Amino acid sequence: MAVALIVAAGRGERLGSDRPKALVTLGGRPMLEWSVEALRSVPAIERIVVALPAGALGDAPEGTVAVAGGAVRSASVREALRACPEGDPVVVHDAARPLAPARLFERALAQLERSGADAAIAAAPVSDTIKEVDPSDGRTVTRTLDRARLWAVQTPQVFRRDALERALIGAGDDVLTAATDDAWLVEQAGGRVEVVESSPANIKITTPTDLTLAELLLAEARV
Ligand code: C5P
């Protein structure tokens, strides 16, 4: 059976809130609860572990296992994985993406099963043109990337347990700090990662504007 790890231990400073980002109210309840509800409706998932700030473990939704997160996102994933010694595959999801629908988790799990890959990750084709800028002056364009090949990566990310364990447990703190997603760690370890096409509406809440947009998307989904 599968297990799900929700990382919710970020402080969310850019949101300007007095509480951890995952506990900020969205659509009348803590943001974290939207992801828990979606995951609860996926029959293949038998357990949900939530990584929270050490002072907020009491805020874990009922029926989930709470664990203190780490200093950086991938360290929180590692702590959650350690707290859950069984379960394969492993679904990793950011509490900061509360709009991920249950069917996206199901599609990612099905693609992992079907493909034989080490990971299947939600992603949306990019619609903007992406350019690289010289970091030494912060404004001179050095390269324009081929948009047809670019995908903006989201969560959920679904992993074969042994691939995720190899990538995370063996990684040094510097590597974990550099990782903005766990699939990159699996790629570094030689694993094969596939994208699962997802909607750009599966936004990550970072700023107050994102929160406003999420409220609008939720209201629209309810009509
Ligand atoms: O900060 P950012 O929005 O990129 O974080 C993505 C997700 O990782 C959020 O759900 C956040 O709560 C989580 N996170 C964590 N532990 C950290 C930093 C971020 O669980 N140390």
3 state SS for the chain: CEEEEEECCCCCHHHCCCCCHHHCEECCEEHHHHHHHHHHCCCCEEEEEEEECHHHHHHCCCCCEEEECCCCHHHHHHHHHHCCCCCCCEEEEECCCCCCCHHHHHHHHHHHHHHCCCEEEEEEECCCCCEEECCCCCCCEEEECCHHHCEEEEEEEEECHHHHHHHHHCCCHHHHHHCCCHHHHHHHCCCCEEEEECCCCCCCCCCHHHHHHHHHHHHHHHC
Whether ligand 1 lies within 6 angstroms of the CB of 49 is answered as: no
Task: Please tell me the class of the 2-222 domain.
Answer: alpha beta
Dist. CA 89 → ligand 1 center (Å):
21
Q: Looking at residue 13, what is its pLDDT? A: 84
pTM for this model (two decimals): 0.96
Ligand 1 nearest atom to the CA of residue 71, by list position: 21
- The one-digit pLDDT tens for each residue of the chain (223 residues) are 999 999 999 988 888 888 999 999 999 999 999 999 999 999 999 999 999 999 999 999 999 999 999 999 999 999 999 999 999 999 999 999 999 999 999 999 999 999 999 999 999 999 999 999 999 999 999 999 999 999 999 999 999 999 999 999 888 889 999 998 999 999 999 999 999 999 999 999 999 999 999 999 999 887 6
Across the beta sheet with 90-94, what order do the strands follow?
65-68, 45-52, 2-7, 90-94, 151-159, 119-125, 193-197
Q: Whose CA is nearest to atom 11 of ligand 1?
A: 10
Whether ligand 1 lies within 6 angstroms of the CB of 1 is answered as: no
Dist. CA 107 → ligand 1 center (Å):
23
The residue written with tokens 């805020």 in the block is 59
Q: Looking at residue 142, what is its pLDDT? A: 98
The contacts of residue 191 (CB under 8 Å, 6+ apart) are 117, 118, 119, 163, 166, 167
Dist CA 207 CA 205 (whole Å): 6
Q: Whose CA is nearest to atom 19 of ligand 1?
A: 10
Q: Looking at residue 223, what is its pLDDT? A: 63
**Whether the Cβ atoms of residue 122 and residue 154 lie closer than 8 Å to each other:** yes
Position 30, amino acid: P
